[in-house]
C-alpha cells in the first residue's frame, strides 16, 4: 500500500510567497529569516517603502541615544565660575558647586565676609567690582591680588565696553572712572542707574557724539556726550519716581512710576516697576510691580529682580518671568539663563541636585516653596495683591545663608540647586568663562 502524501500547511500569518513547511524540510529556502524577502517579493523587485527592520532599528537607536544626549547637553556652564564670600576672603568654585572652592583674595582691612554686599563684573569677566561695607574696589580677574579703591559711594557698574566704571558719589552725582588711566570725572547729574554707552556709529559726514552718559533727572531721561555734557538729547520725557536703571546697551530702562493697580476688584493708583524703550517716546509697560532691579543680562534682554521675598528673572520688555520665593536675588549670568540666589542654609550632605534627581527638594530650604512660578503678561505674580503702599523688598533672607543656582529655561519653575552650603555674606557673582578659567 502506497502511503498517502502528508499535506503541507502554509502559515496563515505568513506573507504571500513565504516558504511552505515542505520547502523548509527540504532545505529549499534561501533563508530562515522571517523578515527575508519571499520568492514573489524577489520577483517583484524592491518595494518603494522601507521594510519593518529598517524602520524599527533606527528608531530604537534614537531612543537609546536620547537620554545620553540629553545628559551630555544638560546644564553646560562652559568655563564659568561662581565667586562668593566666606570668612575674611572671596572664594571661587564652579557653578555646579562640586568644588573644591579656592581662595581668590583676602578682603581689605580685615573686613569680614558679611561686609561684602555686592560683587559685579563686565561682559567678559575681566574686571571685578566689590562693595565692602560701602567702600568700592576693583581688580582684574587675572591678577586678583591687585585691589584698587574706587571713588564711588554706591551703584558702581562696569561699562559695556569694559573701559570705565560709572557710579555715584556721596552726593549722588555721577562719576565716570577710567580703568586705563585710573582717573575719574564728575558730572552734576544723578548717578543712580546711570550708564556709559560706547560711541554709536553715524552716517557719512555726520560728527560722532562719542561716548555718552545715560541718566535720569527730574526733567526726564537723557544721553549726553562725556566730552560735551550740555549737549544732551532726550530719551524719555518723564523721569521715574525712583529706581531708574538703564540697560547695558542703553536701549531700554526700568523705573518706578505711578500706575493703576487692582485691589479687591477696584482700580487704585499705585507705584509700580515699568519698562520702556529709550527711543524718545518711552511707551511704558508693566513689569513685576513691586520689583527692585538687581542686575541685567549684558544683551539687555533679561533683568534680575527682587520682589518682596522672591527672586525673579524677567524679560526686560515685559511679559515672561520666573520667581523663586524665599530667596534673595544676587547675580545674573551674561545671557540671563542662570541666576545666583541666596537662601536659608542647607544642611550639608554633599553632591549636586543634578545627581540626585530622586530628591528634587533636597537642595532648597525645607520651609521654602519651589517658587512663585512664572508666566507672561507683563504684570506681577498672581499671588501678589496690589496695594497703593506696598512695602519695600526685604531682599536677603535672615540667618545663615547658602548659595543656590536658579534656572530660567524650562516650562516649569524648578527649585534652585545648591552651589555652596556655607557662605558668610550676601555678595556673590556669576563670573563668565574665559577669565574664570584663568
User: Minimum mean pLDDT among 17-21, 306-310, 333-337: which range?
Assistant: 17-21
Q: With a cut of 50, say whether residue 29 has pLDDT above it.
A: no
From 51-55, 215-219, 358-362, 416-420, the region with the lowest mean pLDDT: 358-362
Residue 245 pLDDT more than 60? Answer: yes
Residue 215 confidence (pLDDT) = 97
Residue 161: its pLDDT value, please? 86
60 and 165 housed in the same domain:
no
Quick check: 149 and 135 in contact, CB under 8 A?
A: yes
DSSP, collapsed to helix, strand or coil, labels residue 77 as coil
pLDDT higher than 60, residue 286: yes
Question: Which residue in the block uniquely carries the three cell numbers 517579493?
Answer: 41
Tell whether the model's pLDDT for residue 43 goes beyond 80.
no
Q: Is the dihedral of CA 355, 357, 358, 359 positive or negative?
A: positive
CB 373 within 8 A of CB 413: yes
How are beta strands 310-315 and 302-307 bridged, if at all? antiparallel
Cell of 29: 529556502
Domain that holds residue 339: 81-437
Whichever domain contains 203, its CATH number is: 2.130.10
- At residue 164 the predicted structure's pLDDT band, cuts being 50, 70 and 90, is very high
Instruction: Note whether 67 and 194 are same-domain residues.
Output: no
Query: Are 33 and 119 within one domain?
Result: no
- 368 vs 87, 342, 375, 406, 438, CA distance in Å? 26, 12, 20, 14, 36
% of the chain with per-residue pLDDT over 70: 70
Same domain, 279 and 353: yes
Domain total of the chain: 2
Residue 335 pLDDT class (50, 70, 90 cuts)? very high
Q: pLDDT tens, 384-429?
A: 443 333 333 347 888 899 999 999 998 899 999 999 999 999 999 9
pLDDT band at 98; cut points 50, 70, 90? confident
Q: Cell digits for 438? A: 584663568
- Give me 52's grid cell: 519593518
Residues 296 and 199 both lie in one domain: yes
Q: Are 63 and 93 found together in one domain?
A: no
314 contact partners, CB below 8 Å, separation of at least 6: 287, 288, 291, 302, 303, 305, 320, 321, 322
326 and 297 in a single domain? The answer is yes
Same domain, 134 and 261: yes
Which segments of 172-301 are extended strands (E)? 173-178, 184-190, 195-197, 212-217, 220-225, 233-236, 242-246, 252-263, 266-277, 284-286, 292-296
Over residues 359-380, mean pLDDT: 48
Which residues lie closer than 8 Å to 215 by C-beta, 6 or more apart?
A: 174, 187, 189, 190, 191, 193, 194, 221, 222, 224, 244, 246
Same domain, 30 and 105: no
Question: Above 80 in pLDDT, residue 64?
Answer: no
Asked if residue 320 has pLDDT above 70, the reply is: yes
Band of residue 355 on the pLDDT scale cut at 50, 70, 90: very low
- Residue 311's contacts (CB-CB under 8 Å, 6 or more residues apart) are 304, 305, 323, 324, 327, 328, 329, 330, 339, 341, 406
My answer on whether 14 and 119 are in the same domain is no
Instruction: State whether 6 and 120 are in the same domain.
Output: no
Give the whole-angstrom CA distance, residue 74 versus residue 66. Answer: 12
The C-alpha angle 161, 166, 169, rounded to 5 degrees, equals 170
CA dihedral 191, 193, 199, 200 (to 10 degrees): -140
Task: Summarize pLDDT for 178-198 with one digit per residue, the tens.
Answer: 999 999 999 999 999 999 998
pTM of the model: 0.74
Q: Which range is most confident: 16-20, 39-43, 197-201, 324-328?
A: 324-328
Instruction: Tell me, yes or no, whether 65 and 92 share the same domain.
Output: no
Instruction: Give the whole-angstrom CA distance, residue 317 versus residue 358.
Output: 37
Amino acid at each position: 500500500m502506497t502511503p498517502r502524501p502528508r499535506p503541507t500547511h502554509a502559515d496563515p500569518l505568513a506573507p504571500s510567497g513565504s516558504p511552505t513547511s515542505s520547502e523548509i524540510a527540504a532545505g529549499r529556502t534561501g533563508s530562515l529569516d522571517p523578515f527575508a524577502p519571499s520568492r514573489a517579493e524577489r520577483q517583484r523587485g524592491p518595494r518603494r517603502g522601507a521594510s519593518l527592520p529598517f524602520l524599527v532599528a533606527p528608531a530604537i537607536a534614537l531612543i537609546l541615544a536620547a537620554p545620553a544626549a540629553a545628559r551630555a547637553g544638560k546644564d553646560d556652564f562652559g568655563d564659568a565660575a561662581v565667586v562668593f564670600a566666606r570668612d575674611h576672603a572671596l572664594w571661587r568654585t564652579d557653578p555646579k558647586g562640586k568644588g573644591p572652592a579656592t581662595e581668590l583674595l583676602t578682603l581689605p582691612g580685615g573686613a569680614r565676609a558679611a561686609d561684602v554686599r555686592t560683587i559685579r563684573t563686565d561682559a567678559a569677566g575681566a574686571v571685578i567690582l566689590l562693595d565692602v561695607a560701602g567702600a568700592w574696589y576693583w581688580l582684574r580677574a587675572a591678577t586678583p591680588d591687585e585691589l584698587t579703591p574706587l571713588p564711588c559711594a554706591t551703584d558702581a557698574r562696569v561699562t559695556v565696553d569694559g573701559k570705565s566704571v560709572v557710579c555715584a558719589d556721596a552726593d549722588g552725582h555721577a562719576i565716570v572712572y577710567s580703568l586705563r588711566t585710573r582717573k575719574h570725572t564728575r558730572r552734576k547729574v544723578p548717578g543712580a542707574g546711570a550708564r556709559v554707552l560706547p560711541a554709536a556709529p553715524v552716517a557719512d559726514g555726520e560728527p560722532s557724539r562719542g561716548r555718552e552718559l545715560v541718566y535720569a533727572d527730574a526733567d526726564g531721561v537723557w544721553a549726553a556726550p562725556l566730552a560735551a555734557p550740555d549737549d544732551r538729547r532726550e530719551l524719555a520725557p518723564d523721569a521715574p519716581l525712583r529706581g531708574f536703571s538703564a540697560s547695558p546697551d542703553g536701549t531700554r530702562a526700568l523705573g518706578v512710576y505711578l500706575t493703576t493697580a487692582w485691589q479687591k476688584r477696584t482700580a487704585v493708583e499705585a507705584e509700580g516697576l515699568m519698562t520702556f524703550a529709550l527711543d524718545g517716546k518711552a511707551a511704558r509697560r508693566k513689569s513685576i510691580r513691586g520689583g527692585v532691579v538687581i542686575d541685567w543680562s549684558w544683551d539687555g534682554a533679561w533683568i534680575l529682580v527682587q520682589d518682596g521675598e522672591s527672586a525673579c528673572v524677567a524679560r526686560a520688555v515685559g511679559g515672561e518671568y520666573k520667581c523663586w520665593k524665599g530667596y534673595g536675588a544676587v547675580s545674573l549670568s551674561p545671557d540671563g539663563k542662570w541666576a545666583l540666589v541666596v537662601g536659608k542654609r542647607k544642611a550639608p550632605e554633599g553632591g549636586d541636585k543634578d545627581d540626585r534627581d530622586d530628591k528634587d527638594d533636597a537642595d532648597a530650604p525645607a520651609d521654602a516653596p519651589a517658587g512663585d512660578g512664572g508666566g507672561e503678561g507683563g504684570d506681577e505674580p498672581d499671588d501678589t495683591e496690589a496695594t497703593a503702599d506696598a512695602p519695600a523688598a526685604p531682599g536677603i533672607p535672615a540667618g545663615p545663608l547658602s548659595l543656590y543656582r536658579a534656572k530660567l529655561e524650562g516650562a516649569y519653575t524648578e527649585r534652585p540647586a545648591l552651589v555652596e552650603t556655607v557662605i558668610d555674606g550676601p555678595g556673590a557673582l556669576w563670573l563668565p568663562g574665559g577669565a574664570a578659567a584663568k
